[in-house]
Structure 1
Amino acid sequence: MRKVYMKIFPQVRTELEYWKGRAGKIPNKELRNQALASISSKRFHCQGGGVYAILAKENWKEAIQFIVAYQTISDYLDNLCDRSTSLDPADFRLLHQSMLDALTPQVSVKNYYELRKDQHDGGYLNDLVKTCQKTLANREGYETIQDLLLKFCSLYGDLQVHKHVNHDERIPRLTSWFDENKGDLPQLRWYEFSAAAGSTLGVFCLVSYTLGEKISPELASVIYHGYFPYMQGLHILLDYYIDQKEDKMEADLNFCAYYESRTDLEKRLQSFIEKTHSHVQHLPDRHFHEMVQQGLVGLYLGDKKVSDLNGGTNMRKLLLDASGGQARFFYWNTRLYYKLTGK
């Protein structure tokens, strides 16, 4: 944690300030507003992802540069799709092609806005893509992780397309997508599979280990199965859990709304915690991954929005009890942070 506060967070802040400056110069007003809003309201995504830079050892600054650029693409596109006047799945697909290209150093950038009205971002999105490509280009071990990175990213892109189309098309598309992909994951429900696809943690983990020169085909496979579906699913389900009220007000899709009851949701989140803990036992640097898991629980449950949810206090107690002492450490640190900053 000393490394995180003294080195990681300051470097994340430096990278975000750079991209904030670039976003402020975007010529198109709508694109500029969404780019700035995504950095302002979602910077904690980059801070959380930045923790993985520890795994990159002496190349930790390069890892942060990649993580911040990749997560900024994700958050920016999420804003463009969430608050867009477009409901065209082809438009959403082309926008998210940028994330696949960011993981493929050998391809050229393109006009990802071609199918929408708003254009001219001053090279903002293309430069984010190129920053990721530069980190990965000619990196020893990259060929070992590329297929798994693209698999993570393809699932993420599919989710973003299906969840942002016309409201009456969303659930049929998402359930059909799950049926096509569930394979050996029949224990998941369609909305849990969707949640697991919506996290970028697996990408950050694979890239950071590669930058730390510790990757192998065996390790890459262990990381993929260690993170998908449970660690990533836990991450996004907690994110959706605390956003239930505002998503209802905005008529946004929220996966936690599809559980049969509050008790069902409690049991499933406890199950995700238990299964995540079980899966990370097979990873190297086990204590690091346990810290990430318990950090997710503590950080999200420390958010003030939990207290406003029906049954939120009970949910907090149940999940903290299921997660262990380190989760409580992160929970109280989060509460203290909000108290000191007034957020």
Structure 2
Amino acid sequence: MKIPKTSWTLMYNVYKQVIPAVHEFLDEWRKRAETIPNSELRTQAIMSIESKAFHCEGGAIYALLAGSHFRSAARFIVAYQTISDYLDNLCDRSTSLDPEDFSTLHQSMLDALTPGASCKNYYEHRNDQDDGGYLAALVQTCQACVKSFPSYSAVQEENLLLAGLYCDLQVHKHVKKEERVPRLTSWFDSHKKALPPMAWYEFSASAGSTLGIFCLTAYSASHSALKPEEAALIKNGYFPWVQGLHILMDYFIDQEEDREGGDLNFCFYYKNEEEMLKRMEHFFKQAERSLRKLPDNRFHRLINNGLIAIYLADDKVKNDRELKNKGKRLIRSGGAPTLFFYLNGWIYRRRSGT
């Protein structure tokens, strides 16, 4: 399988290879979720699959980097993203505000990246416990996939670094409202020496993406002798700029919804909307620059263009004139590839009803 280098070939492979594989694996997990004994855990597991399938569709594009291991890489990405979406639902809709609970739940995301790690009682600090082995099965599926990839040992350290940031973010952002910003700013202060100039909420956004993990893992499947320094190059290509752009776009389209719900949204912390748009354009340009250093950089830069497009094709943007006008500015930043992916994303969402 050749790695796509143009907008057309990428979209062809997405429709022909990626989306069918994603839905095959998601159907398996949905059937498993339907058997969860505890009603609350069952509801959240099913909802996370029904409402967030597009996360798996987008993430599994990285399986195209895995060569003959495409299906195993796609299986890993779907399972790992399903863990992420399921835990996000549990934390967002939780009656618990206990950081220890959130930390124990997210230990599953670290175990999933560690072949041989034993599964724990991830629900130890909450009332709802019996998932019939659902979360453990997701973790073990991830472990089995990465164990079969010839160069996984070369990327594991970088994967765990990115996953550690992701898990820390999920703990800090789900505690009591009055504790969230102080925790997040203190966390940022402990990391900012190693970062380019950015605000605490931009660092938080950069930590909240799984794209770097998917990219690293897919490369570990297709390369027989990947070196740790090559893994570091790939990680640095994605963190912080690409991952930050990914999550800022997610928050960008959710602003009205989060304002109504009183939820944390990193876009709210910019001084004004002009600053927000300028910074998002900056993240896009910096992401372009960092991706040029990677192997297969044309593929990665197409993904960067697609990040803007896939979010701006959402109905939340279509139905909000002000958001739509701001979105047009971001599409112009991405140029022709972004416009192409935007039109494709718009058509696909209407056909699939997502």
Q: Return the alpha-carbon distance in structure 2 between the equivalents of residues 138 and 3 of structure 1.
A: 24
What SS does the corresponding residue of 1:62 show, helix, strand or coil?
Answer: helix
8 Å CA contact 1:230, 1:276 repeated in 2 = yes
In structure 2, what is the Cα distance between the partners aligned to 1:186 and 1:208? 27
Within 5 Å, give how 1:182-331 maps onto structure 2: 182-213=192-223, 215-309=226-320, 311-331=322-342
Q: Is 1:59–1:211's contact at 8 Å kept on the other side of the alignment?
A: yes
Secondary structure of the residue aligned to 1:86 is coil
Q: Give a deviation string over 1:202-252, Cα, whole Å, max 9, x none.
A: 000000000011632232111111100000000000001101111122221
How far apart are residue 309 of structure 1 and its match?
4.4
Structure 1 distance, partners of 2:105, 2:133, is: 14
Q: TM-score, normalised by structure 2?
A: 0.94
Q: Is the 8 A contact 1:245 1:309 kept in 2?
A: no
Q: Does 1:163 align with 2:173?
A: yes
Q: Which residue matches 2:144?
A: 134
Letter in 2 for 1:90: E
**1:341 Cα deviation (Å)?**
4.4
Q: Choose from 79, 88, 94 the match for 1:84.
A: 94
Segment of structure 1 superposing worse, 1-10 or 303-312: 303-312
Q: Equivalents in 1 of 2:91, 2:353: separation in Å?
A: 30
C-alpha deviation, 1:313, in angstroms? 2.8
Q: Does 1:47 align with 2:57?
A: yes
Structure 2 Cα separation of the partners of residues 22 and 102 of structure 1: 18
Q: CA deviation at 1:70?
A: 0.3
| 2:187 matches 1:177 | yes
Residues 5 and 342 of structure 1: is their aligned pair in 2 closer, same or farther, counting only changes over 3 Å?
closer
Q: Distance in 1 between matches of 2:76 and 2:196?
A: 34
Deviation of 1:340 after TM superposition, in Å, equals: 3.6
Report the Cα distance in structure 2 between the residues aligned to 1:19 and 1:307, rounded to whole angstroms. Answer: 31
The runs of 5 or more residues in structure 1 that have no matched partner are none
Q: Larger deviation: 246-255 or 8-17?
A: 246-255
1: distance between equivalents of 2:232 and 2:78? 24
Q: Distance in 2 between matches of 1:38 and 1:189?
A: 30
* Equivalent residues of 1:199, 1:232 under 8 A apart: yes
Identity, % of aligned positions: 53
1:225 counterpart letter in structure 2: N
AA at the equivalent of 1:189:
A
Structure 2 letter corresponding to 1:56:
A
Q: Classify 1:63/1:139 alpha carbon distance in 2 versus 1 (closer, same or farther; 3 Å).
A: closer
Change (3 A) 1:192 1:310: farther
Look up the SS of the partner of 1:324 in the other structure: helix
Greater CA deviation, 94-103 or 302-311?
302-311
Does 1 or 2 have the higher relative contact order (CA < 8 Å, sep 6+)?
A: 2
Task: Give, in angstroms, the shift of residue 335 of structure 1.
Answer: 1.9
Give 1:109's aligned residue: 119
Q: Which amino acid aligns with 1:187?
A: P
Choose which of 19, 26, 31 in structure 2 pairs with 1:16.
26
Q: Distance in 1 between matches of 2:102 and 2:324?
A: 37
Alignment length (residue pairs): 343
In 2, the alpha carbon distance for the partners of 1:314 and 1:50 equals 30
Query: C-alpha displacement at 1:33, in angstroms?
Result: 0.2
> Mind listing any 5+ residue stretches in structure 2 that lack a counterpart?
1-10
Residues 37 and 118 of structure 1: CA distance in aligned 2, closer, same or farther (over 3 Å) = same
- Give the counterpart letter for 1:97 in structure 2: Q
Residue 139 of structure 1: how far off its partner (Å): 3.6
Deviation string, structure 1 residues 126-171 (Cα, Å, up to 9, x no partner): 0000000011225432221111110000000000000000000000
Q: In the alignment, which residue of structure 2 is the partner of 1:122?
A: 132
Pairing of 1:135-154 with structure 2 (within 5 A): 135-137=145-147, 139-154=149-164
CA-CA distance at 1:314 after TM superposition:
2.7
Distance of aligned partners of 1:104 and 1:340 in 2 relative to their CA distance in 1, 3 Å threshold: closer
Q: Note closer, same or farther for the CA distance 1:5–1:341 as it changes in structure 2 (3 Å cut).
A: closer
Residue 66 of structure 1 corresponds to which residue in structure 2? Answer: 76
> How far, CA to CA, are the matches of 1:84 and 1:175 in structure 2?
23
CA distance in 1, matches of 2:196, 2:230: 25
Asked whether the equivalents of residues 302 and 331 of structure 1 are also in contact (C-alpha less than 8 Å), the reply is yes
Look up the match of 1:7: 17
Give the 4+ runs in structure 1 shifted more than 6 A.
none
